Structure 1
Amino acid sequence: MERKEFLKRGLTSLGLLAALPIVSACEKTDLSTDTTTGSTSTTGSSNGSSASNCTVTNAETAGPFPIKDPASLIKTDIRGDRPGVKLTVKINIKNKNNSCAALANTIVDIWHCDAKGEYSEYGGTGMQATNWTSVHWLRGRQTTDANGLVTFTTIFPGWYSGRAPHIHVHVYNASGKSLLVTQIAFDKTICDTVYTTAADYISHGKQDTTNTSDNVFGDGFANELGTFTGSVTEGYVLTHNVVVSA
C-alpha cells in the first residue's frame, strides 16, 4: 500500500476528509524577514501560553512510520548521518489540568523524515522503496526539565507526496502512560525557502501538499503550527507548545 493511500483510507474511516479548512496555509502566521541577515521568523500557535488560552493540542496519527523502540534512542542530537539545514526543536509540554502550567518529568518522543522524505527503521516495501530498516536517524527521546522543556538538534524535515511537512510528537507521563500523539505543522513560506535554496533539498523541490489540503491536518492545525526563527545559512529554531491532560 502506498503512503498516500494509507493516509486516505485511515482518515476516511474517521470521517475527517470532509472537514478540510479553506484558509490558506500561511493565513494564521505572522512572517517577517530581516533583509540584512536573511533571517526569517514566523509566529505560530499561541496555544498553551496562558490559562485562558489552553486547549489540548490536536491528536494525530503516529503512522505509518512510528518509532519502534524509543527507549533505546535517548539523545538530544538525532541527526545521525542525515544532511540538511540544522533545526533546533524546543517543545514545551503544558498541563491542561493545571492552567497550562509547565509539565516536568514528561517523556517526549519525536521523529520525522529526512531531506528526501524518507524515514529510518522502515523500507523495502511499497510504502517506502529504500530500505532503512537497520538505522535510526531523526528519531529520539528526551524528558522535560523543570520548565516542561525538551530540546532536540535535528535537520529541517523534507516532505513526501500527500503530506505537508511535519514532525511527529508522542508524549508520555513519567510512568510511561501515553498522554498524546500529535504533529507539528510547518509554515509554508519557511518550507518554500528551504526547499528552493538549500542544497540538500533543491532536487526534491517544493512540497505537493499544503497544511490546508493535508488529510491528517484536516481537523484543523491552528494549535499545531510551530514558531520559527533563523535562516538557511545559520539554521532554524522551532519552538512549540504541546498541551496535554495529565
Structure 2
Amino acid sequence: MHRHHDDEVHEHDRGLSYDLPVLARRRMIRLMAGASLIPLVGCSAEDDTSAASSSSPSPSSSSAASGSTGSTGEASECATIPSETAGPFPGDGSNGVNVLKESGVVRSDITKSFGDSAGGTAEGVPLTITLTVVDAASGCGTPKEGAAVYLWHCDREGKYSLYSDGVTEENYLRGVQETDDKGQVTFKSIFPACYTGRWPHIHFEVYGSLEDATAATSITNTSQLAFPKDVCDTVYATDGYSQSVQELSRLSLETDNIFSDGYDQQLAAVEGSVAEGYTATLTVPV
C-alpha cells in the first residue's frame, strides 16, 4: 500500500538522528582537508541508499561555468559529492516500487508518465537540469563518460509519483540517462515545489553504467541538488506554486536538515526566467 506524502514528510529525510552519521563523517572530511587534499579527493560516497542558501551562484568562476557553485578552493572543488539520503520515495526498488527496470525510464524529457501508467503530465515552470559527472580522484578534470544518472523530484504540489495520493499510477519526474563524452546528462523537467520540512531540492543517484542503473544495482553515489532562494521566490510567485511560498518562508539552506552542514557542492547554478524557463547546472564529482 502506498503511503500519503504528507504523512511521510518528516520521514522523507528521517531527521537529524538518522543523518547524524553522515553529517559527522562530512564534518570530519572537512577538518582533514586543512591538513591534506588526499582525504577529500579519495573519499568514497558510502551508505548511498541509507545515509544521509540563500547564496547566489558565482557568475564567473570556472566551477560556476560547469555548474558547481559556492566552492571555496581546490580541495572543495575536488571533493566527492556529499552523500545524502534517497528518502522514502526513490522508486529504485529500495522502498518497494522499482521504476528503473521499466521500459521507457531511459529518457531526457521526464515531464510525462510513460508505459502503462496513467499518462499524466507534470505542470509547472519549465526547468532543464544538466549534471556533469567527473572523476574526483583525478582532480575533477576527467569526465565520467558512460556512467548513468537516475534523477527524480516532487511535482509543483510537493507530491512524488508512484507514492503520493493521487499520483501513485504516475511515474513522471523520474528518468535515467547515460553520460556523454563530457560526462553530462540533461533532463527536461519542471521546477519542484517546496514542501514541509525540506528546502527545494532534486534527488539523484549515480551508477557506473546504464546497465547497472536499469538493473537497479551497484549505486555509486546518492546525493541531492539545492536551488538558490532568489530563484525559488520568483518561481513560487507564479500560478500553481502558492503553497510553496509559505513553506519556503519557514526554511533556509542553513536550517534544512540535509543542507545545513554545507551545501557549496550541491547548490546549482540557475539561469533563466519564468517566461522562458530555467536551466540548472551542477558538477558531480564521484
SS of match in other structure, 1:205: helix
TM-score normalised by the chain length of structure 1 = 0.81
Q: List per-residue Cα deviations over 1:80-120 (Å, max 9, x = no partner).
A: 11110110111000111222110000110100000111110
Quote the residue 1:98 is aligned against.
138
> Closer, same or farther in 2 for the Cα pair 1:16/1:159, shift >3 Å?
farther
CA contact (8 A) 2:57 2:268 kept: no
Quote the residue 1:56 is aligned against.
80
Quote the residue 2:17 is aligned against.
12
Q: List per-residue Cα deviations over 1:36-66 (Å, max 9, x = no partner).
A: xxxxxxx85265x979831101110001210
Give the aligned residue type for 1:224: Q
Query: Are 1:26 and 2:54 counterparts?
Result: yes
SS of match in other structure, 2:259: helix
The alpha carbon displacement at 1:29 in A equals 3.7
Aligned length: 223
Quote the residue 1:226 is aligned against.
268
Q: Among the aligned pairs, what percent are the same residue?
A: 35
Q: Report the structure, 1 or 2, having the larger helix content.
A: 2
Q: 2:192 aligns with which of 157, 176, 183?
A: 157
Structure 1 CA distance for aligned equivalents of residues 191 and 13 of structure 2 = 25
Unpaired runs of 5+ residues, structure 1, are 32-42, 124-129
Structure 2 CA distance for aligned equivalents of residues 45 and 30 of structure 1 = 6
Query: Are 1:242 and 2:284 counterparts?
Result: yes
Root-mean-square deviation over aligned CA pairs: 2.9
Give the aligned residue type for 2:183: G
Query: Are 1:202 and 2:242 counterparts?
Result: yes
Q: Report the structure, 1 or 2, having the larger strand content.
A: 1
Output aligned runs, 1:46-85, within 5 Å: 53-67=77-91, 68-72=98-102, 73-80=105-112, 81-85=121-125
Structure 2 CA distance for aligned equivalents of residues 221 and 59 of structure 1 = 11
Quote the residue 1:2 is aligned against.
7
> Closer, same or farther in 2 for the Cα pair 1:27/1:88, shift >3 Å?
closer
Structure 1 CA distance for aligned equivalents of residues 78 and 101 of structure 2 = 29
Relative contact order (alpha carbons < 8 A, sep ≥ 6): 1 or 2 greater? 1
CA contact (8 A) 1:11 1:17 kept: no
Give the aligned residue type for 2:200: P
Q: 1:145 aligns with which of 177, 180, 185?
A: 180
The alpha carbon displacement at 1:140 in A equals 0.4
Query: Are 1:213 and 2:255 counterparts?
Result: yes
Structure 2 CA distance for aligned equivalents of residues 201 and 7 of structure 1 = 20
Task: Name which of structure 1's ranges 212-221 and 178-187 shifts more when overlaid on structure 2.
Answer: 212-221
SS of match in other structure, 1:5: coil
Give the aligned residue type for 1:5: H
Structure 1 CA distance for aligned equivalents of residues 149 and 188 of structure 2 = 14
